[in-house]
Structure 1
């Protein structure tokens, strides 16, 4: 099991602790619909990672094997052995190699993260993480399914310098795990030396702010010194408004993943010149042709006047969505744990089922008409599968599953009149780059 997957229980434990702090302090850190959307997007990201993570590590391993500098020049190998020798003594050379690798991975992450905000094609993947209008530990798990496909470009120099892919994989995972805890409003400021050297909750709140003075700032992963050195650091002067400058206004985790790519594709299709097409792809998220007014001017925002996306649906449907989200999590965890041993057909079928289930949950939270039809179809298919299981397998799980599905169908039908929401999974052509943060 990988470091990130092994950390999942810790993530949920810390989320529970933050929820307790919020409850005791009567501080509105969480909204149920937003948090379900966070965790749904994160689950889809992990499922997609089953298919995509091989690209980053594969390219890295290939470059290390065939193009590292040690193959061409008499350069010492990058130390990557155990920290301790056979006698138990500290191996200073190996320890220094691992520390240097961790710092180097964080340096590469800074530039990848910076490009993910300043280049529209990269932003289309990273926008997923910024689309929540809350700021809490659940938001840390709201990740892109495909945004890292091009990240190898920024980490490739490390392979060329001779860092082994196993060492890179460990440092990369630790870098991401570190960034989990800084997504909180429960911690104000840390001691001055921490704020000067490390990325902290205060620094990262700025990064998630849509306030004009906070745009494109504080890209650090672990060490805030990169922002201080390269001119992208801004301290937290007031609590930010979180989210996107053009709000997404959807709990659909699939639309969360692809909406910016759709906007870019539309703008590229209708662009008048190849220069404009290049601007939509590789310009900043706010880029516009001069004839359309030039770059987008970011509006001023205030927490006093900001209205978060929070569609009102019957409480029964909210509890229904929560229950079925909870029912998706165990098979998702099993899928991730067993992915390496499953055949491709089962991997694809499992990914489809999990994505469909979580998308339906998001649609129910908005009471969308398409969600009513899609969820009925899912439940009918599951009922048939559980009924087959009840006949063929000498256990009660099939019967229990069929009963749960039939009860869910009855509940949906009881509340069918509530599904009045029109589909809003669309984006006008002038929204490409909207949601810049």
Structure 2
């Protein structure tokens, strides 16, 4: 099991601790629909990572094996031995390995800085990263709201490390630790750390700025672990006013699949409308929000404060909110099973499992929005699950209680959907208008 997967229980434990902290302090850091969307997007990211990480590690390993610098010139190999050894004489420190691993961690973080920066400054890369910023909340659940497709091009920024002779095993460890570190900085529960930490490390304060949609905060503080990169390259700004979180053009959806894909769809539409090849190029590789002069010019963020922004919300019956929570929870065990068993599953079974998890989580998002399509799609999913459960029982492929529980769950779920079918009649825009009116009246 990889470092990130092994950290998942810790992630959920810390989310629970932050949630308890906010409840005791009467702070509104979490909303159920937003958090389900965050965790659903993160689950899709991990499922997609089964396939995309093979590309990243495969390309890295190929470059290391065939094109690393040490094959062509007489430079020392990158040290990657065991830093501490215990034998009969005691503990021995391999200082060359210590230097090698420390250097690897630093340069991986530097590569991450540039990958992250380009992911904000080039539209095609932003399309893969925008999902992480599309929540209008800021909490530890948002940390898990990650891209499912961004890894397809991220390898470009790490390939130079393979050229320098860093092994793929060393890279994979440093890369995973880098990402795990970034989890805890997605919190409003911690104000400031000691001055030395704020000067050197990426902290919750620095990263809150990065997630801010305030014009003065946009495209700042790209660091992964060490904030010194932002200080050196001129992209650092300290937190002053409370940030407003989200993106310039709000997502307005709880659908985790749409969150992953909406910017690619926007790029395709803009390319189709563009009047020249130069404009088409800039639609793809220009800055996010670029538009031609004929369409009004670039999208510019307006000044905002927490008091002037109405967050996206939807008004669905509490029974559907509970339904969404239950079926989100039921989608997690098969997702975890896929992650742990991916290396021994046939490709067809792996693909079918990934499709089922993606469908379940997408439907959950649709239910939270009261979408008409979700009412039909969820019944189709439940029907397929019921048929599979009957098949398991007939062929003795599952214990009786599992098949029976699955059938009962499907029956109760269909009953809940039909009992609340009136909630699926409003269009998305009409439902948003209702939510705005309710919030404005508070």
| TM more than 0.5 | yes
* Aligned partner (choices 206, 221, 225) of residue 224 of structure 2: 221
Contact in 2 for aligned 1:390/1:396 (Cα 8 Å): no
Contact in 2 for aligned 1:41/1:257 (Cα 8 Å): yes
Q: Distance in 1 between matches of 2:231 and 2:211?
A: 18
Secondary structure at the counterpart of residue 223 of structure 1: coil
Match of 2:316 in 1: 313
What is the correspondence of 1:44-123 to structure 2 with a 5 Å cutoff? 44-85=44-85, 87=87, 88-123=91-126
* Aligned partner (choices 405, 412, 415) of residue 417 of structure 2: 412
Q: Distance in 1 between matches of 2:244 and 2:157?
A: 30
Contact in 2 for aligned 1:369/1:423 (Cα 8 Å): no
Secondary structure at the counterpart of residue 262 of structure 1: helix
How far does the alpha carbon of each residue in 1:42-68 deviate from its partner, in whole angstroms, 9 at most, with x for none? 001111111111111111111111111
Please report the RMSD computed on the Cα atoms of aligned residues, expressed in angstroms: 1.0
* Aligned partner (choices 129, 134, 156) of residue 132 of structure 2: 129
Match of 2:6 in 1: 6
**Structure 2 unaligned regions, length at least 5:** 430-442
* Aligned partner (choices 383, 397, 404) of residue 399 of structure 1: 404
Contact in 1 for aligned 2:369/2:428 (Cα 8 Å): no
Question: How many Å apart are 1:392 and its aligned residue?
Answer: 2.8
Secondary structure at the counterpart of residue 112 of structure 1: helix
Question: How many Å apart are 1:400 and its aligned residue?
Answer: 1.3
What is the correspondence of 1:329-368 to structure 2 with a 5 Å cutoff? 329-368=332-371
Q: Distance in 2 between matches of 1:133 and 1:297?
A: 18
Q: Distance in 1 between matches of 2:174 and 2:50?
A: 19
Question: How many Å apart are 1:290 and its aligned residue?
Answer: 3.0
- Is residue 165 from structure 1 mapped to residue 168 from structure 2 by the alignment? yes
Q: Distance in 1 between matches of 2:23 and 2:364?
A: 25
Question: How many Å apart are 1:297 and its aligned residue?
Answer: 2.1
Contact in 2 for aligned 1:69/1:75 (Cα 8 Å): yes
Contact in 2 for aligned 1:140/1:180 (Cα 8 Å): yes
- Is residue 190 from structure 1 mapped to residue 186 from structure 2 by the alignment? no
Q: Distance in 2 between matches of 1:255 and 1:107?
A: 31
Q: Distance in 1 between matches of 2:68 and 2:342?
A: 31
Match of 1:433 in 2: none
Match of 2:207 in 1: 204
Question: How many Å apart are 1:423 and its aligned residue?
Answer: 5.4
Secondary structure at the counterpart of residue 303 of structure 2: coil
Q: Distance in 2 between matches of 1:215 and 1:181?
A: 21
So what's the TM-score if we normalise by structure 2?
A: 0.94
Q: Distance in 1 between matches of 2:2 and 2:247?
A: 32
Match of 1:381 in 2: 384
Greater RCO (CA < 8 Å, at least 6 residues apart): 1
Contact in 2 for aligned 1:370/1:423 (Cα 8 Å): no
| Change over 3 Å in CA distance of 1:50–1:421 after alignment to 2 | farther
Match of 1:435 in 2: none
* Aligned partner (choices 150, 155, 160) of residue 153 of structure 2: 150
How far does the alpha carbon of each residue in 1:220-242 deviate from its partner, in whole angstroms, 9 at most, with x for none? 00000000000000000011000
How far does the alpha carbon of each residue in 1:182-237 deviate from its partner, in whole angstroms, 9 at most, with x for none? 00000000000000000000000000000000010000000000000000000000
Match of 2:275 in 1: 272
